[in-house]
Each structure stands twice: as C-alpha cells, then as structure tokens.
A and B are shown apart, each in its own frame.
Chain A
Amino acid sequence: MLSLVARSGAFSPYLSATSYAVAGQLKPLASGVVLHSDKVPLDVKRPFLTRETLSGQAASGPLSATAGISGPSSIRFLHSDVTVPDFADYRRPEVANSTKSSRPSDEYRKSFSYLVTGVTTVATAYVAKNVVTQFVSSMSASADVLALSKIEVKLSEIPEGKNVCVKWRGKPLFIRHRTPGEIEKEAQVDLSELRDPQHDLDRVKKPEWAILIGVCTHLGCVPIANAGDYGGYYCPCHGSHYDASGRIRKGPAPLNLEVPYYEFVEDLVIVG
C-alpha cells in the first residue's frame, strides 16, 4: 500500500480507504432545533471494527453517500408504488389464470410451439431447396443447346465402302460404311504393332460402321478418307496414316482418331 501511494503521485489522496459522510440535499426548513434530550446510542465498549459498526454507533444525518476505493456508491429506493402491467392479452388461454397450475397444459403448449417451429422449418427447407436447384440448373446447358448437340444420320443412304463427313459440334464427323474385307483386315491387326493399342471391336459397336471424329490427333487437321498406306485416312498436313478403324499406324500423330458416343436406332445413328 505504501509503495502504491508512493507511485501513484497526484492520486494518492484518493487512494486512501476513507469514507466521507455527505449531507443529504434536503435541508430542514427550521434549522437549528437541537434536541439535547435524545442521547445518541453510543456504546463505547463496542469494538470498533468496520464501517458498519461505525455507522451503527454514530448516526450521521438523514441521507448519506459514501465513496470509497472498495466499490461504487449507490442509493437504492424502494419502488412499492409501481403497478404491475396486465399481461393477460399476451398469455395463452391455458395459463390465463395465474392461480392455476400451468403444469397440466405444459406438454400441449410446448408441442404447439414445436409444431409451429417444425412447419416453418419444413417450408423454409422446401423454398431453400428450390432456390438452390434453380441456381444450379441455370448453370447447365439449356435445352436448345442440348438439342443442337445431337445429330441423326440416316445409314441406308451411305453405300458400302463410302465415307461420309458431317458437321457435328463444329467438328467433322466421319461415318464409314466398311466392306467385309476391311472388317476382316482390321480385326486381324496385331495389337503389338500399334502405337495406341486398341482392338477394332473396342472402337465400333457394329463392325460395318466406323464412327470417328475427323480431327487428326497430331495438330488438328482433317484427314482425307480412303487414302494413305493403310487404306483408311491420311492427314495431308504432316503425313499421318490411319487405318480403316481410325487407328494411327504411321506418322507423327500420337493417338487414334477419337470415337464419340453414339447409338443406333433402327436405320439411324444418333451421335451425341
């Protein structure tokens, strides 16, 4: 305490634990009447211990405020004249009577609250799910784009041994009606001599029809059909030779011609 007083400097008078009695603001109109007959009950034998015992010994005016380091001073008034508002309009009918026990209707009231919560949550979840679904589905391709992404080709108009080129998704699409000789030849190719080993039957759904994307896997030129050393396709840009199954056999291209997804529906082939 001494060191604290020494260090606090200018504040040291305020840091001492002393209480000051403050006279009340209300002053009697007729002052100076001192009743000497009333003896102040002062018990000098009583041990002087705390502030409470001090104030018990010495009465000091009608209103007093104390200020000390131990805590804030406060004056508390008793509000016995304030009327409690009537909350009857806000109460549920089960608890309108305040003298009745609220316990029997407890579960009913709680279940009503939970029912309201549950129904609100269900409705919110439904709305949220639909909003999210709308946003996510707006990112996917629209129906007109999806409709353009497919192509139908009539196969009966393609004679045997002919290669037809159609435009599909901005790229050339080869549809080749293979002869039995070509089918036989491609089926017997040894996989070990291929750069991108793939059996002919893994590249076609029906052996008569080879459906390929006509983009050279080297640098993207369009190969020429029925040309080259292997009787399939020949890329004029850098001299890649493909066979009748679209597999790379010679030249700089690293991979076989790509096979798109397609399916046969009666006389048609649907690519995409």
Chain B
Amino acid sequence: MATEGSLLSRDGKPSPSYDVTSRRFRLAVIMSLLNTVYRSVFRRTSTFALSIVLGVVLFERAFDQGADLLFERLNQGKMWKHIKHNYEE
C-alpha cells in the first residue's frame, strides 16, 4: 500500500521518510487537499456553483462583520454606544 505518492503509512502516522516540517511535505499536503477539493467540489458544475453561492453567503457575513469590528476598534470611545452609559441611566 505504501506507494510513492502516499504521505501516510498504514497506521495513519506520517511515513518516516517524510520530514513533516519540510517545505516539500507542506506542498504535498496542500496538493492532496486541493485534489480532494477538486474531486468533491470543482469537478461538477452544480457543486461548483453551489459552493460559490455558499461562499458568498459566508464571505458576506464574515467580511461585513469584520469590517464593522475594525471600524469600531479604530473609533473606540467616539461612538454613541461607547459613551451612552455616561448620559443614560
């Protein structure tokens, strides 16, 4: 089973012939991950389009909330909700 391309040995641990910290190993991990993503998502147009739709939904949420968070951090103490407790009981 231990072919040249396989990164893990039979018991699931990295093969001793591969240095986990090496650049080559990381590249190989990225390659195998991308291959899995390609086979499961990108290969069919339907799943590709679905992944784009889901990606937009998640990206919009993350991007908008991240931008708001950054804005509030840059304007800490200047906005009404930061100074509201001084004026309202």
Contacts and interface: CB of A to CB of B under 8 A. Distances in A.
Contact of B42 (A118, A122, A126): A118
Contact of B35 (A111, A125, A126, A129): A111
A110 B38 contact: yes
B56 A115 contact: no
B35 A108 contact: yes
Interface in B40-89: 42, 48, 51-52, 55-56, 59-60, 63
A126 B34 contact: no
Main secondary structure of the interface of A (DSSP, over half): helix
A112 interface: yes
Contact of A114 (B31, B42, B59): B42
B34 A118 contact: no
Interface residues on B, range: 10 to 19
A111 B48 contact: no
Main secondary structure of the interface of B (DSSP, over half): helix
B42 A111 contact: yes
Interface string A112-145: 1011001001110110010000000000000000
A114 to B, nearest CB: 4
Interface string B1-35: 00001000000000000000000000000010011
A126 B63 contact: yes
Contact of A108 (B34, B48, B51, B55): B34
Contacts of A112: 34
A89 interface: no
B31 A110 contact: no
Contacts of B35: 107-108, 111
Interface of A: 104-105, 107-108, 110-112, 114-115, 118, 121-123, 125-126, 129
Interface of B: 5, 31, 34-35, 37-39, 42, 48, 51-52, 55-56, 59-60, 63
17 contacts: A104-B5, A105-B31, A107-B39, A108-B31, A108-B34, A111-B37, A111-B38, A111-B42, A114-B42, A114-B48, A115-B34, A118-B42, A118-B51, A118-B52, A122-B56, A123-B59, A126-B60
Given A114-B42, A118-B42, A122-B56, 20 more contacts: A107-B35, A107-B38, A107-B39, A108-B35, A110-B38, A110-B42, A111-B34, A111-B35, A111-B38, A112-B34, A114-B48, A115-B34, A115-B37, A118-B52, A121-B52, A122-B52, A122-B55, A122-B59, A125-B52, A126-B59
The 4 closest A-B pairs by CB, nearest first: A111-B38, A114-B42, A111-B34, A122-B55
